[in-house]
Amino acid sequence: MELNQLYESILAGKLEPAVEVTREAIDAGVAPQTIINDYMIKAMGEIGQRFQDGKAFVPQLLMSARAMKGALELLKPLLQGEASVTIGKVVIGTVKGDLHDIGKNLVAAMFEGCGFEVVNIGIDVSAEKFVEAVKEHNADILCISALLTTTMGEMEIVIDALKQAGIREQVKVMVGGAPVNQTFATQIGADGYSDNANSAVAVAKELMGV
């Protein structure tokens, strides 16, 4: 088993080999975090860079995303950690106009694995839908994801909608995604920010006081 093949397979958008190497890595006892952070995310970073440099195009991005998702499916059950008691309820979604969901789903899987109950409301979610979901599920934390500079402004609209609905004080809001940073998060009045799925859980726990 050569883990670099996982990196190469995701980069080349090859689903079957990506899944196969991941299965072998799991059987060999490689930590899921290592598989995700050192190979999968790196491959997505590289394809993104190539896209930016005009050396890769949308179909390639889609193929890579599909390969990563397929491999991630195998790891999901392993991310379900020891915790059996629910720490809190999280509603998570990607903002309106934005179809990126790999990072969001990774954050969702990590939360689940660390003892949170997660309601994943998908992509292209309007502010109204976010508000509805927070109400319906009585969420402790709302996680909002955006991957585009053109859609990150939607996060503030969601926070405003929570205020309008009179429920801003009942829920902690966490934001994230490649173009988001701490300054932006503070500026729009979010309670928490993280640039990766691992520390997102730590931030959430802190917000919950656990």
Residue ranges in contact with ligand B12 by CB under 6 A: 41, 44-45, 47-48, 51-52, 58, 61-62, 65, 97-104, 106-107, 143-145, 147-150, 174-179, 194-197, 200
Closest CA relative to residue 19, chosen from 76, 57, 59: 76
Nearer to ligand B12, 138 or 182 (CB): 182
Q: How far is the CB of 194 from ligand B12 (least distance, A)?
A: 4
Question: Least CB distance from residue 121 to ligand B12, whole Å?
Answer: 13
143 burial via Cβ count (<10 Å: 0-12, 13-18, 19+): buried
- Parallel/antiparallel/unpaired status of strands 117-120 and 141-145: unpaired
* CB 140, CB 172: distance < 8 Å: yes
Residue 84 or 97 with smaller CB distance to ligand B12: 97
The answer to whether the beta carbons of residues 70 and 104 sit under 8 Å apart is no
Distance of CA 107 to the CA centre of its chain: 4
Output DSSP code: residue 196.
Answer: S
From the CB of 26, what's the least distance to ligand B12, in Å? Answer: 19
The CB-of-16 to ligand B12 minimum distance in angstroms stands at: 19
Nearer to ligand B12, 27 or 167 (CB): 167
Nearer to ligand B12, 61 or 208 (CB): 61
